[in-house]
Amino acid sequence: MKITVRYFANMRDRMGRAEESVALTDGGVTVEELWAKVSPNAPLPTNVLIAVNMEYTDAAHPLKDGDEVAFFPPVTGG
DSSP assignment of 6-57 equals EE-THHHHHHTSSEEEEE-SSS--BHHHHHHHH-TTSPPPTT-EEEETTEEE
Residue 55: phi, psi to the nearest 5?
Answer: -125, 130
Residue 2: phi, psi to the nearest 5?
Answer: -115, 130
What digits encode the pLDDT tens for the residues 56-70? 999 999 999 999 999
What digits encode the pLDDT tens for the residues 20-52? 999 988 778 999 999 999 998 889 988 899 999
Asked if pLDDT for residue 77 goes beyond 70, the answer is no
Residue 77: phi, psi to the nearest 5?
Answer: -160, 180
3 state SS of 4: strand
Ranges of each domain in the chain: 2-72
Report domain 2-72's class. Answer: alpha beta
- pTM greater than the 0.85 cutoff: yes
